[in-house]
C-alpha cells in the first residue's frame, strides 16, 4: 500500500522535473555505491574535446556531492523550484521548459570553459530559482524563519547563505547571470518597443514533448498518464548508457 502511494506520488511529479531529479539521485547513488567516481563525472574540456568523453557535458550537471547536508539542501531546492516552474509558468509547455534547460546548460558550459568550475548542477539550480523568483515577484518568502523577503531576493539570499558557509559564490553568480539572460530574452526584451522574441523553441522539441490537448472528459489511469512510464525508461536508459561509457573509458585508461 505504501509502495503504491509512493509510486502514485512520484508519477504526479511533472515529467521534466521527475526526470532531472531522478537522474541526480541515481548519479549520487552510483557514486555512493562506488560504481563510479566523481573524477569520471566532472567538467573537463580537455577530456571532452580531446578524448571524446562527451558524457561529461551531462554528468557535471547531475552530481551535487556526497550524501550530506549540501546534497539534501540542493535536492530540496532543485525539486521544489523545478517543479513549481513546470507546474506554473511552463504548464502545458514542456518543450519550452526543455529548451530552457538546453539553453541554460549551453551557456553554463560555455562560461565553464573560462572559470574553474567542475560541477555545474548547483549553478543550474540557482538559475531555476532565479527564473521562478522573477516570474513571481510578489510572493513572500521566509528563510529558515529568520528572514522575510519577496521572491526576487531569494537567489541573493541563497548566495549570502553560501558565503556564510564559506563556499565560493562564483557558482551562485553564474546561476544568477544565466537565469537573468534567459529571463531578459524570454520575458523582458520581447515586450519592449521594437523588441522581438529571440528564444524560439525548435519545432522538433515541440513534436517530441508537447502533446495535443486531450478530451477533458477522459480520466486516464495512472499508467496511462502522459510521462507515466516513458520518462522513467528514458532516464534509466540514459543512465545505463552513461554508466557503460564511463566504465568502458575507465577500463581503457587502466
Phi then psi for residue 140, to 5 deg, are -85, 135
Phi then psi for residue 150, to 5 deg, are -90, 155
pTM: 0.81
Q: What gap in Å lies between CA 136 and CA 126, rounded to an integer?
A: 15
Q: What gap in Å lies between CA 109 and CA 194, rounded to an integer?
A: 31
Q: Cell 551531462 maps to which residue?
A: 58
Domain locations in the chain as residue ranges: 1-209
β 147-150/140-143 pair status = antiparallel
The answer on pLDDT for 14 being more than 70 is yes
Q: What gap in Å lies between CA 56 and CA 39, rounded to an integer?
A: 10
Phi then psi for residue 241, to 5 deg, are -65, -45
DSSP 8-state secondary structure symbol assigned to residue 214: P
Per mean pLDDT, which range of 7-16, 38-47, 210-219 is the poorest? 210-219
Provide the CATH number for the domain formed by 1-209 in this structure: 1.20.1540.10
- For residue 118 the three cell numbers come to 567542475
Residue bearing the bigger pLDDT, 231 or 63: 63
Rounded mean pLDDT of 78-91? 93
Tell me what pLDDT residue 131 has. Answer: 97
Which has the closest alpha carbon to 198: 212, 209, 180, 184?
184
Amino acid at each position: 500500500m505504501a509502495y503504491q502511494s509512493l509510486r502514485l506520488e512520484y508519477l504526479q511529479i511533472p515529467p521534466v522535473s521527475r526526470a532531472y531529479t531522478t537522474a541526480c539521485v541515481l548519479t549520487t547513488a552510483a557514486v555512493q555505491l562506488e560504481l563510479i567516481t566523481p573524477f569520471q563525472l566532472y567538467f573537463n574540456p580537455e577530456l571532452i574535446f580531446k578524448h571524446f568523453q562527451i558524457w561529461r557535458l551531462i554528468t557535471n550537471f547531475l552530481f551535487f556531492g556526497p550524501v550530506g547536508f549540501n546534497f539534501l539542501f540542493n535536492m530540496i531546492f532543485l525539486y521544489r523550484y523545478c517543479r513549481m516552474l513546470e507546474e506554473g509558468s511552463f504548464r502545458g509547455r514542456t518543450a519550452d521548459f526543455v529548451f530552457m534547460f538546453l539553453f541554460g546548460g549551453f551557456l553554463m558550459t560555455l562560461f565553464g570553459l573560462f572559470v574553474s568550475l567542475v560541477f555545474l548542477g548547483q549553478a543550474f539550480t540557482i538559475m531555476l530559482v532565479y527564473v521562478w523568483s522573477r516570474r513571481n515577484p510578489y510572493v513572500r518568502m521566509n528563510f529558515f524563519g529568520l528572514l522575510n523577503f519577496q521572491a526576487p531576493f531569494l537567489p541573493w539570499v541563497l548566495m549570502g547563505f553560501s558565503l556564510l558557509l564559506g563556499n565560493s559564490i562564483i557558482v551562485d553568480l553564474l546561476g544568477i547571470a544565466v537565469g537573468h539572460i534567459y529571463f531578459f530574452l524570454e520575458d523582458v526584451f520581447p515586450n519592449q518597443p521594437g523588441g522581438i522574441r529571440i528564444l524560439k523553441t525548435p519545432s522538433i522539441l515541440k513534436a517530441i514533448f508537447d502533446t495535443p490537448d486531450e478530451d477533458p472528459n477522459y480520466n486516464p489511469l495512472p499508467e496511462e498518464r502522459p510521462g507515466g512510464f516513458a520518462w522513467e525508461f528514458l532516464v534509466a536508459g540514459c543512465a545505463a548508457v552513461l554508466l557503460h561509457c564511463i566504465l568502458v573509458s575507465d577500463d581503457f585508461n587502466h
